[in-house]
């Protein structure tokens, strides 16, 4: 009984040892595969697109001076009519035009020295066009000088003019797709150069979209930019 017991224990020990060795092989193989999958490459994908602004804000300033408030109001009303007719000829509707309250100064009350009483009252007025007719606003900007031919001296301060693009959500999917393709192309090039195989995406994040003027002379042309960050697994 003692010899059989020893023999059985020995055989059982061999099976256990073989099992542990086999298990160790599979565990070792799994660890190697995990480590292999840990090899990765991080790349950036860029997408750029030029678009035209779809909304414009165009303020115009004009000034009047007169010896009395009655005369000043008469001049302002006359100039406003000329401006509104001018805008109407360019295709703008009344709901696209905003007239701000004028800033009126009594120069006599301001103690101006050597005051010419013919210009005692002074008004600084502003008319703003807020429109989606961007091309008409560009035309307005180019033709604003023609108001002077009608006796109205209006000016536009460039820093106040704004051209806005509001269609970002419409082009986002297309731009993200382009940026992702560019990222994969860069990763594929890296994998090829390093004699590796490009695997699945390990991690991806979308950068923020930025909108800027293409250049100072054409603020109505916008440059939309986005960068995506993508990590890919690399295999042998």
Q: Where are the domains of the chain?
A: 1-38, 39-53+165-236, 55-164
Instruction: Please say if the pLDDT value at position 24 is more than 50.
Output: no
- 205-228 b/e with 16+ CB inside 10 Å = b? ebbebeeeeeeeeebbebebbbbb
pLDDT at 90: 96
pLDDT at residue 118, as a whole number: 77
Residues 177-205: tens digit of each pLDDT: 999 999 999 999 998 998 989 999 999 99
Q: What is the dotted CATH code of the domain comprising 55-164?
A: 3.30.70.2970
Q: Is the pLDDT of residue 17 over 90?
A: no
Using the structure block, give the residue that is written with the tokens 């590796």.
196
Mean pLDDT of the chain: 85
pLDDT in tens, 136-164: 999 999 999 999 999 999 999 878 899 99
Write down the CATH number for the domain with range 39-53+165-236. Answer: 3.30.110.170
Q: Would you state the structure tokens that stand for residue 225, as one six-digit string?
A: 């930019």
């Amino acid at each position: 009984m003692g010899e059989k017991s020893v023999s059985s224990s020995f055989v059982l020990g061999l099976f256990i040892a073989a099992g542990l060795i086999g298990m160790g092989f599979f565990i070792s193989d799994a660890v190697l595969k995990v480590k292999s999958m840990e090899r990765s490459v991080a790349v950036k994908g860029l997408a750029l697109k030029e678009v035209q602004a779809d909304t414009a804000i165009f303020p115009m300033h004009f000034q009047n001076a007169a010896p009395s408030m009655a005369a000043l109001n008469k001049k302002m009303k006359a100039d406003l009519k000329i401006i509104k007719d001018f805008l109407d000829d360019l295709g703008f509707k009344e709901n696209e035009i905003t007239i701000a309250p004028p800033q009126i100064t009594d120069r006599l009350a301001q103690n101006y020295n050597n005051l010419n009483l013919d210009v005692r009252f002074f008004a600084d007025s502003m008319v703003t066009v807020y429109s989606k007719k961007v091309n008409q606003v560009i035309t307005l900007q180019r033709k604003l000088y023609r108001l002077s031919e009608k006796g109205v001296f209006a000016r536009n301060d460039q820093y106040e003019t704004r051209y806005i693009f509001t269609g970002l959500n419409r082009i986002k999917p297309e731009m993200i797709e382009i940026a992702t393709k560019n990222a994969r192309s860069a990763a594929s090039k890296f994998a090829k150069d390093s004699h590796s195989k490009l695997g699945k995406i390990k991690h991806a994040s979308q950068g923020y979209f930025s909108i800027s003027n293409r250049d100072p002379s054409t603020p109505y042309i916008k440059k939309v930019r986005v960068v995506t960050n993508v990590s890919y697994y690399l295999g042998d």
